[in-house]
Amino acid sequence: MSSVPERSEIDEAYTWDLESIYTTDDDWEAAYESVADRIDDLAAYEGQTVDDAETLLAVLGLRDEIMREVSTVAAYARMRRDEDTTNQHYQGLTARAQSLAADAQSAASFIEPELQDLTREEFDEMVAAEPDLETYDHYVDDVLRMKPHTRSAEVEALLADLSEVTGATGEVYNMLSNADMTFPTVEDPDGDAVEISQSNFVNLLKRPDRDFRKRVYENYFDEWASVRNTVAASYKNSVKADVKTAQARNYDTAREAALDGPNVPVDVYDTLVESVHDNLDKLHRHAELKRDALDVDELRMWDVYMPLTGDEGPDVEYDEATDHVVAALEPLGEEYQSRVADGLDSQWVDVYENEGKQSGAYSGGTYDTQPFILMNYQDDISSMYTLAHELGHSMHSQLTKEEQPYVYSGYEIFVAEVASTVNEALLTNHLLETVEDPEFRKHVLNEFLERVRSTLYRQTLFAEFEHEAHRLEEAGEPLTADRLDDLYRDLKADYYEPAAIDDRIAREWMRIPHFYRAFYVYQYATGISAALAIVDTVLEEGQAAAEDYLEFLRRGSREYPLDLLRIAGVDMSTSDPIDRALATYGDRLDEMETLLS
């Protein structure tokens, strides 16, 4: 019998308040029909977008109104489905909402190509004639910026039609890794059979029995060896598609094309890699500390995920976690702190696991709703950090929508992880300042160190791998399974110099789905670097620095990512934020070493 409760058994106080969006499903249906009827009104403007200032304002305003309504319709359906993923009714509503969103995007697809017929001077003249267009100044600047990489209507249509084909390698990989591959079952120390899966692999490598971890590791990667040529062919063609698409859009490299979307210079990527390499000694210290804590002669790849504490952490019930998180946010000011507390009391969070509930955690909601957070809280330190993380996203969205029009209410991935990681870092600081229990402190430090290891170092290693893979393709060199294994093995040996590097770990690149979304992962590393640098400044300088950070949150996407972060006092075009983040990592290593000794 399952120990996971039915949703009806969860106290309503620990569920989110989706009735605040639509009181009933009938209200959702009415909203769906209303916005569906308006989509044709937008499509009717095709060919007229830049006829005059009044028409341009009308087109952009109508598009924003429709997208706002569509996003709310889609969010409600998706969150209802996530309460119980087996519910066929809400699966149906979600599918309908997805189709509605696709129809709306299609209807609006003419706008940006038509905007690119304007010059900057012509748009400024339109603003003079229709001052309300000033709202769209940055948006139009971004659209016009991409004009050199936008092809003729015929070529753009062809590229759009081919996008499903060029992206098919990722779908093939997902089907192979999640549907067709079957991993072995291994026996745990109690004699129970444990089936290895994609979702439980890392958690199994945190089990205290070393022989069990080794069996899991070997069996898992041996299964990948059986499909290595298929995965290599899939990834090779994914890289080739990136390169060819970039060339079609007049970019010199695939990396340049990927980073140009959010307007991030490639120098930022290179600076991250160089700074991390300059600080590999700290990661090596972490590995050596782990080897000593585990009392092994040599750290092996099946030991890397083991916590330095070596055992399960203390219980942290949800209400205790909320107290810690709210208290930790004090450096950001009383208003920010009280708004988080009010949100926690206002059913922002769907707290506990129930039968059929979507796994993991996320921050949701739309421009016209309160924030919503899905969790599967497990009464542990990691869940407390996840709560702090998602509240960071929610407050970022909340402050943005209160200050910005809809067109700037989102934000690029480059800055998205900053707010969440700032909250995590403040939580670490608060717990280390207020909790005296040495065992609890060790678990807090381990949580912090593992997040830096897995986010800053590991994602930078991934970034190096995919950059080199694309460089090889652009140079006309073959991307075979052996070549990819060798490339990954060499990187792993650099990053984990104190550990033993075996042939199986050379296949780890095969299990990373993010590689099919090229030049994405580096943003996790820059995000945590920026966040830790911001926290250092806030703790050192106080209210003024906190207000700069909050202003960054309020700006949404009204400016480009690097300019936004400069508001918060961080210049990601330099190595300084990365060096500061890694200095903090080094200091925490010192603290942990002291506690362990």
Concatenating the DSSP letter of every residue in 29-96 gives HHHHHHHHHHHHHHHTTTT-TTS-HHHHHHHHHHHHHHHHHHHHHHHHHHHHHHH-TT-HHHHHHHHH
Distance from C-alpha of 350 to C-alpha of 290, rounded to nearest angstrom? 36
Task: Identify the burial level of 427 via C-beta atoms within 10 angstroms of its C-beta, where 0-12 means exposed, 13-18 middle and 19 or more buried.
Answer: buried
Q: The tokens of 350 are what?
A: 């769907």
Distances (CA, A) of 459 to 503, 529, 592: 21, 12, 23
Spell out the residues 6+ positions from residue 324 whose beta carbon is closer than 8 angstroms to its own. 316, 384, 427, 430, 431
Residue pair 142/115 in contact by the 8 Å Cβ criterion: no
β-pairing verdict for 193-195 and 349-350 = unpaired
Q: The tokens of 580 are what?
A: 């500061």
Provide the 8-state DSSP code for 436: -
Residue pair 66/35 in contact by the 8 Å Cβ criterion: yes
Distance from C-alpha of 331 to C-alpha of 471, rounded to nearest angstrom? 44
The alpha carbon dihedral of 391, 262, 492, 276 has a sign of: negative
The neighbour count for residue 108, using CB atoms within 10 Å, is 21
Residue pair 535/545 in contact by the 8 Å Cβ criterion: no
Would you say how long the chain is, in residues?
597
542: left (phi over 0), alpha (psi -120 to 50) or beta: left
Q: Which residue numbers are catalytic? A: 390
Distance from C-alpha of 538 to C-alpha of 544, rounded to nearest angstrom? 8
Number of Cα atoms under 13 Å in the Cβ half of residue 132: 10
Distances (CA, A) of 154 to 113, 158, 350, 394: 12, 6, 47, 41
Angle (nearest 5°) at CA 499 between 496 and 502: 95
Query: Where do we find the tokens 């000694």?
Result: 281
E strand intervals along 279-352 = 349-350
Euclidean distance between the first and the last CA atom of the chain, given in angstroms as a whole number:
44
Q: The tokens of 545 are what?
A: 């620095």
Residue 275: strand, helix, or coil:
helix
Spell out the residues 6+ positions from residue 197 whose beta carbon is closer than 8 angstroms to its own. 183
| 483: amino acid identity, one letter | R
Residue pair 525/268 in contact by the 8 Å Cβ criterion: no
276: left (phi over 0), alpha (psi -120 to 50) or beta: alpha
The 3-class SS string of 113-142 reads HHHCCCCHHHHHHHHHHCHHHHHHHHHHHH
Provide the 8-state DSSP code for 370: -
Distance from C-alpha of 83 to C-alpha of 569, rounded to nearest angstrom? 40
